[in-house]
Amino acid sequence: MNLPPASNETTPRASLIEADEFLQLIQATIPMARDFDFAFEALSFGRVCLRLRTGAEHTRAGGTLSGPTLMTLADTALYAAVLSTVGLEAMAVTSHLHFDFLRKPSTGELVAEARILKVGGRLVVGRVELYSGVDRAVDHARPVALCTGGYALPRPVAPRQ
């Protein structure tokens, strides 16, 4: 993942969840997640890099990836980043997402880089940058979409050391 470490950290803190745990959780609690080929590139405390292989089922008229596909990947990456800071919590729910579609994504591989900006008592806020897989390798400064969002927690989070 190419994002800088959170705050003044030089070594990323360990995630409070494992990648396999997260994938099992979403497949068990969100049945449509089984229809997506998600794979983690990186997972640390408050940081996630999640990849999605796309196909014809993810495209729309004009041969571009559909907005719902981009939004699903961003929301899933943000959910993983949230859980990396609070632990496995199936009842954490999206409270809001704001999307900016910046340019037409290439089909094939889509990558989401998510980072948590703030963990509050009952709300966690983060940002996700989406890249076409090929474009990301060539020009990391040009995301295809940006997303900011928040997750509401069912109970307050205890402060973490």
What predicted TM-score, i.e. pTM, was given to this entire model?
Answer: 0.88
The answer, yes or no, to whether residue 156 has pLDDT greater than 80, is no
β-pairing, 109-119 with 123-132? Answer: antiparallel
Closest CA to 153 of 126, 127, 128, 119: 119
The answer, yes or no, to whether residue 158 has pLDDT greater than 80, is no
For residues 99 and 119, give the distance between their C-alpha atoms in angstroms, rounded to a whole number.
20
**∠ CA 107-84-36 to the nearest 5 degrees?**
30
Residue ranges and CATH numbers for the domains of the chain are 19-152 (3.10.129.10)
CB 128 within 8 A of CB 113: yes
For residues 55 and 76, give the distance between their C-alpha atoms in angstroms, rounded to a whole number.
18
